[in-house]
Structure 1
């Protein structure tokens, strides 16, 4: 796995720029589709980053918007780079690409989980038990493939230039016996170890905190090093995920995360609670 400006972030940036240039040219999506003899849905999906754009399509769009010279060349090159394959394409039966692509290029990751250990912090056996429970009809081959993909994702935290990772978890995560006592003891001990990394922070929201903003469900806030790449919120679910990019939505989740950090135990106290829970599983 390599870090840097990956294809997913490049595609997102190009989409934003093409939308901005179309609006500056005072053209509607329908007008662009008519002039380029393509469907309006294609232009819309390009501008939202749901599909990639070929260098030829990018050049045609830029010509229509009156963008030429060095600016056009730079954006066409961005279109070429956005079409490169990321490491996750080797697991295309597991990943859609968008999530891991954004995750791989993020400079900061702020995660909340109420029921499970976050994916980047799971041990192999814990991940196996989680995926087996969520996909009871999966074959052993599919299950192993999904576990391998998750382990590959975790190399992100061992990268020479890793993102700042801050995870807040509900205390319930520490007591749900996923995979049995032995798996849980190893998993919780792993949390204590990985929290020793300078770029990893883990906090626990204790039961005593009562109701908290995270009860709405798990989410991840992805931040990026370039100002041109705005933060994204990924709201997780079993079968799919929702991406939120509107500034007001991102701000709301950032505020939720701040409240969760405030409600949680300080990092050192959190690790003591995690270690105590691990010892409890070791005696079972």
Structure 2
């Protein structure tokens, strides 16, 4: 199926509609589970988009909620689409959570990073070095598969309906030579190159900015072309990350990102800084401590 009609986002949309109809019918999850022979956790996970529902399950739920035929047919069709496999399905063993599926459907991605180059902008050598370091217990095959998925995701930036990407990158990311000098210089060149793409905005948040709104950590805001699909914030961690969808959470992270973009260098200034760092890398001007006192 078309990556932009991601089964992940279809599942999320379906769950939200089923929850809306259940609440409109004035019944609880426990009542639905008892009447239809489902477990309460099954109903809950369908509504949150964590589990796919069969067309038959959806039909039974909608009948119980008293949903009219035409709308019911549309939702049953969404259930069919949500059960199709995304391009990333063969790599599910090395992926955690639903992020790739949501990213595949996004209209716009806004991300703040303070440790690494975002995956959508990584070179193959940078991705390989980073994943090897972060997942030292993985097999060579697993690492190669992770790199492959990361590079495959980057087609989102160049396809006909390309995603809009806005990155605020902490200067610390540019100071860490992941993979060594050659790999990092190649990565900096890649960042300069993407500046030419009209759908990519890259800003560097310099050390000189001091304390800033993103001190609590990196995050990504995804928003989608259909108004019925609410934005989602993804805060990544070592076990897979946290998805935030409540209105007050979204408002908070929108505000943080706007503040970071205001504090960061503009795109042109950021590109000049990247070019300067290619000539005079920070990691070469700061020799490692030999341990002497």
Alignment TM class, shorter chain as reference: over 0.9
Q: Counterparts in 2 of 1:263-274, with a 5 A limit? A: 263-274=263-274
Report the secondary structure of 1:14's partner residue. helix
Q: CA deviation at 1:282?
A: 11
CA contact (8 A) 1:184 1:281 kept: no
RMSD across aligned positions (CA): 1.5
CA contact (8 A) 1:185 1:282 kept: no
Question: Which blocks of at least 5 consecutive residues in structure 2 are unaligned?
Answer: 285-293
After TM superposition, the score normalised by the length of structure 1 is 0.97
Q: Which residue pairs with 2:154 in the alignment?
A: 154
Q: CA deviation at 1:3?
A: 3.9
Deviates more, 1:131-140 or 1:247-256: 131-140
Q: Which residue pairs with 1:167 in the alignment?
A: 167
Separation in 2 of the partners of 1:49 and 1:146? 24
Q: Which residue pairs with 1:106 in the alignment?
A: 106
Q: Which residue pairs with 2:290 in the alignment?
A: none
Q: Which residue pairs with 2:289 in the alignment?
A: none
Q: CA deviation at 1:167?
A: 0.2
Q: Counterparts in 2 of 1:73-222, with a 5 A limit? A: 73-96=73-96, 98-222=98-222
Separation in 1 of the partners of 2:96 and 2:197? 29
CA contact (8 A) 2:109 2:164 kept: yes
Paired positions, count: 284
Q: CA deviation at 1:68?
A: 3.0
Residues 219-258 of structure 1 deviation map (CA, whole Å, 9 limit, x = unaligned): 0000111110010000011221100010110110010000
Question: Which blocks of at least 5 consecutive residues in structure 1 are unaligned?
Answer: none
Q: Which residue pairs with 1:225 in the alignment?
A: 225
Q: CA deviation at 1:283?
A: 11
Q: Which residue pairs with 2:249 in the alignment?
A: 249
Q: Which residue pairs with 2:259 in the alignment?
A: 259
Separation in 2 of the partners of 1:104 and 1:97? 14
After TM superposition, the score normalised by the length of structure 2 is 0.94
